[in-house]
Amino acid sequence: MTAAHKHPNYFAVFWWLLALTILEVGVIFLPIAKLLIGILLVGFALTKAALVAMYFMHLKFERRTLALIAITPLLLCVLLVFALLPDSSATPHRTTAPPQASTTSH
């Protein structure tokens, strides 16, 4: 497969990327559950990223080991998100300065 190195149809990939971008922008205005919107957005974004990597970066036509190198950061980042999960959910915090206390409580 690497020897042939045939050119994929780049314009088909372009139209897919464009369509998915329009869908992404459209989906945030849909009157559906926030969680569902989030899942759809992440799904669309990962699909677009995979299209760019596989066709524009020719990953589909490379050796599989190279794809393993390319996918490693994604796996590590998923791990990182889970590692950070306790930190993000344990202590809800306001990051704006609290309004000046007008009443002194003690």
Partner 1 sequence: MSQVAAMTTAVEPAESPLTPESWGKLGMWIFLAADAMSFGALLAGYGALRFGSVDWPVPADVLGIGLTAFMTFLLICSSVTMVLALAAIQKGDQRGLRIFLGLTILGGSLFLGMQAYEWTHLIHRGLALSSNPFGAALFGTTFFIITGFHGAHVTGGVIYLSCYLVRSLVGRLGQADANAIEIAALYWHFVDLVWILVFTFVYLL
Work out how close the CB of 15 gets to partner 1 at its nearest, in angstroms, rounded to a whole number: 10
CA-CA-CA-CA torsion for 17, 19, 21, 22, nearest 10 degrees? Answer: 170
Question: Is-contact 47 68, C-beta < 8 A?
Answer: no
Considering only residues 35 to 54 of the shown chain, the ones binding partner 1 according to CB under 8 A are: 38, 41-42, 44-45, 48-49, 52-53
Question: Is-contact 67 59, C-beta < 8 A?
Answer: yes
Residue 54 is classified by DSSP as I
Number of residues near partner 1 (by CB under 8 A):
48
Binder to partner 1 among 1, 32, 35, 91 (CB under 8 A)? Answer: 91
Work out how close the CB of 43 gets to partner 1 at its nearest, in angstroms, rounded to a whole number: 10
103 vs 45, 70, 99, 100, 106, CA distance in Å? 49, 57, 11, 9, 9
Residues of this chain that interact with partner 1 (CB under 8 A) are 2, 7, 10-11, 14, 17-18, 21, 24-25, 28, 38, 41-42, 44-45, 48-49, 52-53, 56-57, 62-63, 65-66, 69-70, 72-74, 76-77, 80-81, 84-85, 87-97
